[in-house]
C-alpha cells in the first residue's frame, strides 16, 4: 500500500502567510494566560504548550501565566476542605493557602515544565514570590454588595502593589520562557493567592507587552 506524500505547497503557503506576522512580532512580548481547566486534561495541556512553543521558537518573547481553580477544588475536596466562593472569588484561609501553594507551584507549574522539556523549550517556573516578582498586600474586607453593610474577608488573597519587571526581562533576554504561578507574598513573607487574570494583566503592563492573550 502506497502512502500519500504531503503536499509541499501547503507548507509553503503556511510559511508565506506566517512570515509577515513573525516579522511584525519578533522580539515583542506576548503574555499568555491559561485557566486551570485546560490543564485538567493532558492532551489539552500538550496542545496549548505546543502552540505557545511555536511563538517562543519564532522569536516572540512569551510569558505563560497559569491558573488552577479546578485542580484546587479537587485537592481541597480530597483533603476534606470546603471551597468557599463569594461573588465568584475564592475565600482562602490558612489551610487553603497551603493547598494553593501545593497545587499551583507544585502540581501545575511542574507539569507544564515537564511538557516544555519534552518539546525542547527552555522554560523556567516561578511564582510572584520569586525574587519579589509580584509585590502585594492582603486584601482588606470588602462589602458584599453596593449599599450593603455586610463585609466579607477573603483571607489570604492579595492585591497587587507592583511588578518587578526586571525579573522577567532577564529571563526573556536569556532566551528562557517564564511559566508564572499567580501566588505572591506580602512584605512579611505571608503567602497570598492572586487571581491569575490580574497577575497576567499586571505583568503585561509592566513589560509593555504587545499582546495579552486569555485562554
Q: pLDDT tens digit string along 55-95?
A: 998 999 999 999 998 999 999 999 998 888 887 778 899 99
Please state, for a pLDDT cut of 70, what percent of the chain lies above it: 96
Q: Are 39 and 4 in contact (CB under 8 A)?
A: no
Q: pLDDT tens digit string along 178-203?
A: 999 999 999 999 999 999 999 999 99
pTM, 2 dp: 0.88
Confidence of residue 48 (pLDDT cuts 50, 70, 90): very high
Q: Mark out the alpha helices in the chain (DSSP H runs).
A: 8-25, 42-57, 69-78, 94-101, 109-118, 165-173, 196-206
What is the predicted pLDDT for the residue at 78? 93
Q: Per-residue pLDDT for 12 more than 90? A: no
What is the predicted pLDDT for the residue at 42? 86
What is the predicted pLDDT for the residue at 13? 79
**What are the angstrom distances between the C-alpha of 63 and each of 21, 74, 121, 139, 197?**
18, 27, 12, 26, 13
What is the predicted pLDDT for the residue at 9? 77
Amino acid at each position: 500500500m502506497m502512502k500519500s506524500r504531503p503536499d509541499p505547497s501547503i507548507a509553503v503557503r503556511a510559511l508565506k502567510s506566517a512570515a509577515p506576522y513573525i516579522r511584525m512580532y519578533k522580539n515583542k512580548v506576548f503574555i499568555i494566560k491559561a485557566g486551570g481547566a485546560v490543564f485538567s486534561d493532558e492532551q489539552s495541556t500538550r496542545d496549548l504548550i505546543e502552540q505557545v512553543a511555536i511563538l517562543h521558537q519564532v522569536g516572540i518573547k512569551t510569558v505563560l501565566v497559569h491558573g488552577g481553580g479546578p485542580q484546587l477544588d479537587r485537592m481541597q475536596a480530597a483533603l476534606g476542605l470546603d471551597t468557599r466562593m463569594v461573588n465568584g472569588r475564592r475565600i482562602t484561609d490558612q489551610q487553603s493557602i497551603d493547598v494553593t501553594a501545593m497545587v499551583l507551584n507544585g502540581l501545575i507549574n511542574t507539569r507544564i515544565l515537564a511538557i516544555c522539556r519534552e518539546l525542547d523549550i527552555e522554560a523556567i517556573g516561578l511564582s510572584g514570590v520569586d525574587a519579589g516578582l509580584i509585590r502585594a498586600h492582603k486584601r482588606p474586607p470588602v462589602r458584599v454588595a453596593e449599599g450593603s453593610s455586610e463585609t466579607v474577608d477573603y483571607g489570604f488573597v492579595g492585591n497587587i502593589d507592583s511588578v518587578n519587571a526586571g525579573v522577567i526581562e532577564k529571563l526573556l533576554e536569556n532566551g528562557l520562557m517564564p511559566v508564572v504561578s499567580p501566588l505572591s507574598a506580602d512584605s512579611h513573607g505571608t503567602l497570598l493567592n492572586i487571581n491569575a487574570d490580574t497577575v497576567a494583566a499586571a505583568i503585561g503592563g509592566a513589560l509593555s507587552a504587545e499582546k495579552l492573550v486569555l485562554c
